[in-house]
Amino acid sequence: MKFLSGPVLRARRRSPLILHRSAAGADRALSYARSVPETPLREWPARPVASNRRRKRRLLGRRRRRLLLRVALLALVILVGFRGYQYVNAYNDLRQAHATLRAAESALDDERLAMTPTRAGELRDSLDGAEGRFGSARDLIAGDPLARAAEHLPFVGDQVTASRRLAGIGEEAARLGQSAAGVLITFGEPPGEGNSLQSLVEFLYRAGPAFAEMEETAARIRDERSGVAGNRLLAPLARARDDIDRALERVDGILVDYGRARDLMPALLGYGGTQRYLILPQNNTELFPSGGLMSSYGVAEFEAGDLGPLLFEDFAVLFSRWQSGGGQYVEPPRPLRDHLLRTTSWGLGEAGWYPDFPRSARQAEFFTELGGVEPVDGVIAIDLFFMEGLLDLVGPIEIREFGVTVTSDTVTLMSLELTRDEMIPEEGRKVFLSYLAEAAFPAIFEAPRDRWDDLLAFFQRMADEKHIQVYSHDPATQELIEELGWDGGLAPGRDDFLLLADTSVNSTKLNLVVEQSIDLELRFNEDTSVDHVVDVTYRNELPTWAAGRDPELVQRLMLDGLYGDYLRLFAPLGSTLDSLLIDGQGVGAEAVEQEMGLLSFGRYFTVSPGAERRVSFAYDTPNLVEQAGGLFHYRLVMQKQAGTAGAPVSVSLVLPEGAVLEYATVDGQIAETRGVTLETDLSVDRVIEISYRLP
């Protein structure tokens, strides 16, 4: 029977107990089977021998592939584990290298030129180790096939690329630090013969190769930095990128300053031939736009870094010699004539009428030549703030001619007392400042090496604050002076501009005690014009200052204490003056003139002892706001008057209706605002930028 063939039959043979438990059961099964219609079963074809072989090969292939997959997975696990071990070590190396860099940066910042050669050598060695650790990490990431593959993935690729490039930047930064340490080792080498400034010039030349290496390394860092993604980095990588940007900015500033100093100092100090400079000590207690009354002058000669004899003379002696020789009358600017000079000729004392120092310097040269002084190659002006800072740096100076020792705390008042004192040498009044300058200038040339860093920083701060200003007839030298910001020149441009220039016209020293503050309101209009309201408040603090002082001295210096000032506000051409008020009363401008590419509004006023006065200018200027990308941008340059301490400034912003302030910056830094008011001062020139959006 066919239905018992095949597997059923085989089951029957293997399990007879299941099919035949009893004879009765067997009979019933047979009877049932006969009653069921016979259905033929499909025959199982016999497999050919070749087919069985292929089946076996397929099974064997699958087993081999599974084995290979297991081996590959095991290798991958081993590789990842090994790479993980390597990356853990690399991470630890990076942390150690980063700590070395930060420690080196801190040491260079703190010690600077005071660092000993031994210390600089140790620093260079530690940075050499950091360079190796950064390089190993970079090579690990660059040589890892998994990392290379990951660089092609969205987002993850940015992190891998940034990690590789940042490790390379760290390697270059360590090299940069080694070059800086090399500069300090060079600085520590024994100097040649000569004064301090000659040794400094020698150092600048000897350090040239190290600075060249730093420039090349900084260029490579900038190239690597350009490949780091902008806004898609994880926080640690973003912080590292921002740290690099800040460090690069500082390094670039150092390299630029080095290059300028290397080129400027030899030019100023006569390394290309003798240089003669007119020296102008400006008395800023009697304020003029250039920095102060030019109460005396001197001539200094520099040759190959040597300072020749200093010859100073009182401006009254110069004026007398000029007039006694049949001197001509020089018409002064009208405000000087009306409020100060009357019928007297314009002379050296008032040459600082212009807030643009190069122009005032040329005016001073004109008057000294009228008095018989030979032409000079340039002009250097300093004020009493400069003298205070210099004495603080070099220490007290003895003025033997007057039998006094001057310190940073006493120099200003002593200068005023001895200037007005009748018991002074025969050369005439005002001569004390000449003796002081004669004693102070050599102190600069004799400064010890461990004070050079402080001396250079002092000169840059004084230039930033306009307490020293330099002018040269040589165009290349003057360009370097301007790049360093030592020129004291006006800097109007296509942006908004504001300068307040005071001229003391009552022949008193009241700028010593008169305090000033400035409130500026800027109202932005939809036609891109800006309305300005500038309130300048003056407080005459003479009663407070005079309390407890010798009344005779107070009277000699301050006369009756009435402060007389001619104030000019400089604004862009095209501005329109709407009103000029004094204490809320309309008085108008005495003069509206174009000067030095700007428009000036001028007014004379007085402030009694103990009183307060507010002078208010209201004017508008067109086309000051630019639109780009849906934002409105505005930029204001507020220039400081030379010779002033730095008045506090409050700036109120009145935006168009519905406008939203996006940001406000002062000198490129996000400003702290109280609503829409900025607080700053005019200790240096300020640049204010704002951006807003209209609905």
Q: What is the pLDDT of residue 17?
A: 38
Q: What is the pLDDT of residue 50?
A: 59
Q: What is the pLDDT of residue 64?
A: 62
294 or 18: which leads in pLDDT: 294
Q: What is the pLDDT of residue 32?
A: 53
Mean pLDDT of 191-206: 85
- Please say if the pLDDT value at position 200 is more than 70: yes
- Please say if the pLDDT value at position 90 is more than 70: no
Q: What is the pLDDT of residue 552?
A: 92
Residue 16: which pLDDT band, with cuts at 50, 70 and 90?
A: very low
- Please say if the pLDDT value at position 498 is more than 90: yes
- Please say if the pLDDT value at position 45 is more than 60: no
Contacts of residue 417, Cβ cutoff 8 Å, sequence gap at least 6: 553, 557
Residue 242: which pLDDT band, with cuts at 50, 70 and 90?
A: confident
- Please say if the pLDDT value at position 125 is more than 70: yes
Sign of torsion, CA 578 580 585 587? Answer: negative
The segment with the largest mean pLDDT, out of 12-26, 58-72, 288-302, is: 288-302
192 or 135: which leads in pLDDT: 135
In 253-336, beta strands by DSSP E: 275-283, 293-294, 296-303, 306-307, 311-314
Residue 115: which pLDDT band, with cuts at 50, 70 and 90?
A: confident
Mean pLDDT of 349-362: 98
- Please say if the pLDDT value at position 128 is more than 70: yes
496-693 has the same fold as 275-484: no
* Whole-angstrom distance, CA of residue 280 vs CA of residue 357: 12
Judge residue 458's burial from the number of C-beta atoms within 10 Å of its C-beta, 0-12 exposed, 13-18 middle, 19 or more buried.
Answer: buried
Residue 277: which pLDDT band, with cuts at 50, 70 and 90?
A: very high
In the chain, % of residues over pLDDT 90: 52
Q: What is the pLDDT of residue 252?
A: 87
pLDDT per residue over 599-643, tens digit each?
999 999 999 999 999 999 999 999 999 999 889 999 999 999 999
51 close to 58: Cβ distance less than 8 angstroms: no
- Token pair in block for residue 605: 């006023």
Q: What is the pLDDT of residue 30?
A: 53
Q: How far is CA 237 from the centre of its chain?
A: 24
Q: What is the pLDDT of residue 109?
A: 76
- Token pair in block for residue 642: 């030379």
Cα distances (angstroms) measured from residue 453 to each of 304, 305, 307, 392? 21, 18, 21, 15
Write down the CATH number for the domain with range 496-693. 2.60.40
Residue located via tokens 């990490």: 137
- Please say if the pLDDT value at position 589 is more than 60: yes
- Please say if the pLDDT value at position 89 is more than 80: no
Helix (H) or strand (E) holding 524: strand 514-524
Of 228-237, 244-253, 610-619, which gets the smallest average pLDDT? 228-237
Q: What is the pLDDT of residue 13?
A: 42
Q: What is the pLDDT of residue 660?
A: 93
Judge residue 562's burial from the number of C-beta atoms within 10 Å of its C-beta, 0-12 exposed, 13-18 middle, 19 or more buried.
Answer: middle
Of 10-24, 222-236, 299-313, 535-549, which gets the smallest average pLDDT? 10-24
Instruction: Decide yes or no: CATH 1.10.3470 for domain 275-484.
Output: no
Q: What is the pLDDT of residue 150?
A: 76
Supply the DSSP string of 406-463, one letter for each residue: E-TTTHHHHHHHHHH-SSS-TT-TTTHHHHHHHHHHHHHHT--GGGHHHHHHHHHHHH
Mean pLDDT of 170-187: 88
What is the overall mean pLDDT for the chain? 85
Contacts of residue 84, Cβ cutoff 8 Å, sequence gap at least 6: none
Contacts of residue 149, Cβ cutoff 8 Å, sequence gap at least 6: none
241 or 358: which leads in pLDDT: 358
Contacts of residue 519, Cβ cutoff 8 Å, sequence gap at least 6: 534, 535, 537, 649, 650, 652
Q: What is the pLDDT of residue 536?
A: 99
396 close to 405: Cβ distance less than 8 angstroms: yes
Residue 52: which pLDDT band, with cuts at 50, 70 and 90?
A: low
* Whole-angstrom distance, CA of residue 50 vs CA of residue 64: 21
Cα distances (angstroms) measured from residue 400 to each of 70, 397, 405, 447? 97, 9, 8, 21
Of 19-23, 601-605, 659-663, which gets the smallest average pLDDT? 19-23
Hey, where are the domains in the chain?
2-35, 63-268, 275-484, 496-693
Residue 47: which pLDDT band, with cuts at 50, 70 and 90?
A: low
